[in-house]
Structure 1
Amino acid sequence: MKQPIIERLEQIEKNYYVKILFACEAGSRAWGLNSDSSDYDVRFIYIHPPEVYLSIDPIGTKNNRDVIDVQEHVELDIHGWEITKALRLLRKSNPSLLEWLHSPIVYYINSSSTERMKRLLPKILNQKACMIHYVNMAKNNLQQLQRKNPEIKTVINIIRPILIAKWLEKTNQFPPMDFIQLCETLVTDGEIQNELHTLIHQKVTTNYNHHVNHFDKLLRYAESELIHLEATIQQLKNPTGKQVTEKLNRLFRNALDEFEM
């Protein structure tokens, strides 16, 4: 499927007259949890020609959209952010963008910009904000859970953000996207490990919305970890406001200098 995705990205460049700097897989395939029926969730960062930025209407205003969405069929969802939007979100430690940059499946690299973004992460990463995001994600999914007949999707979307928050707590670094690696690194209890192995097996061999049973220990683990993580967040100080805007401005200008169609 990689070549058809690359060809579609090249067609987007022609149709929208943009340059795609970076494109990756997001979602279950990036997490190592894809089944035969899993969709392809392609995410990308793009840049316009330099003259587009010399406008009295900035990108993201009027008709100058800062996103591109393409969904031609059910299996392939393509979504991209314009580079200045992406850099502003990077400044805020936007978790979705950080996941893109850490995806193990990269379809397209056409600039040095993404490597420069990664090098800035230690100066930019807001541990507290990211932990709050993932803890809230887990809590919201836990509230939606049908205890007697939960869906695989919901259980995964409880456990995965908890493990990401735990990694952030322990390392103050953004984690790898591989779900199995997170489980093996962070979970030491044998019974919880067994339920995780069962969950992973059911995820990769059945439909994402398949209903599952017998994850009581795993869900109690989730509740306990959320209590611990919320207590940790309360103790974290708010960041002092690292001055990275000029570095991001230079990164943007370098990307413009590299622009070629």
Structure 2
Amino acid sequence: MTTVPDHVFEAADELLTAIEREHDVSTALAAARGSHAWGAASPESDYDVGFVFVPDDLRRYAHLEEPPATIHETADGDEIELQGRDVRTFARLLADSNDGAIDLLRSSIQYRTAYDPTDLAEYIERTYNPIALYHAWRGIATGNYRKYISHHLVRTDDETVPILEMLEDAYVVETDDGTATIPADDERFAETQTKPTVKRNLTICRAAMSARYLKATGERGTHELPALEFERFLSEQAPAVFEPDRIELARDLLERKRRGEGATTIGDAVGREFARPPADIDPEVHAGDGPETERLDAFVDELIAAVR
């Protein structure tokens, strides 16, 4: 797990205090997001901080001009980036089994803990809807692969289509319905500049492994949530589902990212097939009810009470 220098904690705390004054809110919880949270940070990595805030005057929720649902600020030359959600938005994300909201509760690097997230995290880990979380991770993997790794065409309206085959005078591309052939001289399309870097491959690899692990463990009778710390996942959980060479590839990408090679172009290391977990999975096996609204409301009350 990566560490955070004292000056970053101090700067984040100062920025949170400034945000509270500007927006008339109080921070209930703030924790690391991104590469520092899951142990892939390099010396050049930014510090991403997620936080949950509560309006100082709850009557604002009934006003025509409601309090902000999100707050986004940067500081120290963009070294620190803060992304906050109000307590109601955060609860709704947890109700939807949102991966980012769940990971914020599980992050071991905490900047503010007026509210101790332990009980809420344990409840969410017991009650999240596996199929929703599966599709969240699948979306991250397929979306990043399509945008950054696939060789693709971009249309004048910014629509992108992956290239499956290059012919002498045309492209065979992937469509929602199958494939299509686009003439090479079609002026509506141009080849894009992709970014098949270590960082992008690692993002895809982690998301695809998380989705596939959740599906595999669910089919064995219990959906096991992958550890947030990727190295721990690779060492303790991944061997039950993945072949050693897949785990070694993931570990190599992780180590290269940590060494500061995140921007190095390496092509498609993950592979198209692995980067695209199946879209259709059995809801009878993988769907759950998710967290109970009444129970989440009780946790919202606790979050509010922690800062009032």
The TM-score normalised by the length of structure 1 is 0.82
Matched, 1:186 2:238: yes
Offset from partner CA, 1:132-172 (integer Å, 9 cap, x none): 11112212222231579821122112111112213423152
Unaligned stretches of 5+ in structure 2? 1-7, 152-193
Structure possessing the higher radius of gyration over alpha carbons: 2
Match of 1:80 in 2: 84
2 CA distance for matches of 1:52 and 1:234?
39
| Aligned residue number for residue 91 of structure 1 | 95
Aligned AA for 2:74? Q
Q: Secondary structure at the match of 2:41?
A: coil
Aligned to 1:36: 43
Deviation of 1:259 (Å): 3.1
**1:57-104 per-position Cα deviation (integer Å, ceiling 9, x unaligned):** 2xxx63521111111332111110010111111111111101111112
Structure 1 segment 1-261 matched on structure 2, within 5 A? 1-49=8-56, 51-53=57-59, 56-57=62-63, 62-72=65-75, 73-112=77-116, 114-122=117-125, 124-144=127-147, 145-146=149-150, 150-169=196-215, 170=217, 171-184=222-235, 185-187=237-239, 188-212=242-266, 215=269, 218-219=270-271, 223-224=273-274, 226-227=276-277, 229-230=278-279, 232-233=281-282, 236=285, 238-239=287-288, 241=289, 244-260=292-308
Count of residue pairs brought into register by the alignment: 249
Q: Is the 8 A contact 1:98 1:174 kept in 2?
A: no
Instruction: Give % identity.
Output: 20
Structure 1 counterpart of 2:265, one-letter code: H
Alignment correspondent of 2:165: none
Note the residue ranges of structure 1 that are not aligned, 5 or more in a row: none
Amino acid of the residue matched to residue 252 of structure 1? V
CA distance in 2, matches of 1:244, 1:141: 32
Change (3 A) 1:207 1:191: closer
- Give the TM-score, by structure 2 length: 0.71
Letter in 2 for 1:257: A
Q: Could you say what secondary structure the match of 1:206 adopts?
A: coil
Q: Is the 8 A contact 2:138 2:211 kept in 1?
A: yes
Range moving further from structure 2, 66-75 or 76-85:
66-75
Native 8 Å contact 2:28 2:306 kept in 1: no
Aligned residue type for 1:52 = L
* Amino acid across the alignment from 2:232: Q
RMSD value, Cα: 2.7
Question: SS of the counterpart of 2:74?
Answer: strand
Q: Structure 1 residue 180: deviation in Å?
A: 1.4
SS of the residue 1:219 aligns to: coil
